[in-house]
Amino acid sequence: MLAPMQGLTNRVLRHLFIEQVAPDLVFTEFVRVQTRSRKRVTRSDLDEVGSHEGTTPLVVQMIGHGAEPLCEAAQGLEMAGAQHLNLNLGCPYGRMTTGATGGELLRDPDKLIELLTSLRQVISGSFSVKCRSGYDDPQQIFQLLPRFEDCGLDYLVLHPRTVVQKYAGHADHRLTAEVVQRTALPVIANGDINNAAIGQRLLAETGVAGLMFGRGALADPWLFQRVRGELAGCVAVGKRRRELDGYIENLLNRYLVRFCGDRQALMKLKDLLNFIPDEELQRDLKKLKRATTVASFRALLDRFAT
């Protein structure tokens, strides 16, 4: 699965990944559910759902709070064509001015379960959650598992960090393996799956039903094919440069069509460059991020692959 990443996994990037590396599922960016507006979901988010093409399933991830707004949003999204809905229980920055969202919902498990039960009653398609292992205690997930099962969830995407950890430390996939053993729900592993060896080891040793790639996929779109064994797990620096050159050029051309003007297209692309970690490429990546025009960006990109 391609993870939901706000500001990054937009329609253009999702379609590029579907065409070139074939994820089995792709997620939208956050669909923010409005509590103070009669329109629970923005027109642009509804258009994002309706514009999805092809046979690769699109999972729409909602983030918000309150049973009534979320249930109304879910019904509206299904009317727009969504067949798969997911609730974010993991974002560590999850508090709106009017209430808890994302990972903050784990602070009140009883209210959370009431919310999930209400959502399950109105959602006709698949329904899942993307969840941290707990708010401040990684063992909290084991108290939630039987209640998740009772709610009728279809699967669980688990990021084995607590909410208060944010992205510090390492995702503890020993906990993922234990979760798999203690629930009947299919478990999808998420967090720090940045290369083929890690992904293949998780599939072989934990019993997870699948993997979700976020930052690892942004840095290396071919991670899907590497984990499947369709491409080599590691590549030499020269080939890595050529792969990234094609990836960035392809996205630039698509962003120039999709977004309003050169500046917005470059800003979107520069956000993505921040997720490419290769130390030997940082000098050239910094030059790309300093480019102020498409022409100068292209000139630097032409030299990137050589």
Mean pLDDT in residue range 164-180: 96
Q: What is the pLDDT of residue 99?
A: 79
Distance, CA of 120 to CA of 81 (rounded, Å): 17
Mean pLDDT in residue range 168-191: 97
Mean pLDDT in residue range 237-247: 96
The closest of 59, 61, 60, 56 to 23, measured between CA atoms, is: 56
Convert 62-81 to b/e letters by CB count within 10 Å (16 or more is b). Answer: bbbbbbebbbbbbebbbebe
Q: What is the pLDDT of residue 36?
A: 78
Contact 189, 206 (CB under 8 A): yes
Which residue has better confidence, 48 or 290? 290
Q: What is the pLDDT of residue 14?
A: 96
In the 8-state DSSP scheme, what is residue 239? H
The share of the chain scoring above pLDDT 90, in percent, equals 90
- The SS3 assignment for 259 reads coil
The share of the chain scoring above pLDDT 70, in percent, equals 98
> Which residues are CB-neighbours of 227 under 8 A, at least 6 positions away?
196, 199, 200, 203, 211
Q: How confident is the model at residue 94 (pLDDT cuts 50, 70, 90)?
A: low
Mean pLDDT in residue range 162-185: 96
**Per mean pLDDT, which range of 95-99, 182-186, 204-208 is the poorest?**
95-99
Mean pLDDT in residue range 250-271: 94
Distance, CA of 265 to CA of 260 (rounded, Å): 7
Q: How confident is the model at residue 96 (pLDDT cuts 50, 70, 90)?
A: low
The closest of 198, 158, 212 to 182, measured between CA atoms, is: 158
Q: From residue 100, give the alpha-carbon distance in Å to each of 4, 23, 75, 91.
A: 19, 31, 21, 11
Q: What is the pLDDT of residue 95?
A: 60
Q: How confident is the model at residue 305 (pLDDT cuts 50, 70, 90)?
A: confident
Contact 160, 171 (CB under 8 A): yes
Give yes or no: 234 in active site: no
Looking at residue 36, its amino acid is: R
| Whether the predicted pLDDT of 50 surpasses 90 | no
Distance, CA of 257 to CA of 250 (rounded, Å): 11
Tracing tokens 């390492």 back to the chain, one arrives at 170
Annotated catalytic residue, options 71, 91, 131, 151: 91
Provide the whole-model pTM. 0.95
Tracing tokens 């990546």 back to the chain, one arrives at 285
β-strands 99-100, 95-96 pairing: antiparallel
Mean pLDDT in residue range 107-125: 97
| Whether the predicted pLDDT of 97 surpasses 70 | no
- 3-state helix, strand, coil split of the chain in percent (to 5) is 50, 15, 35
| Whether the predicted pLDDT of 98 surpasses 80 | no
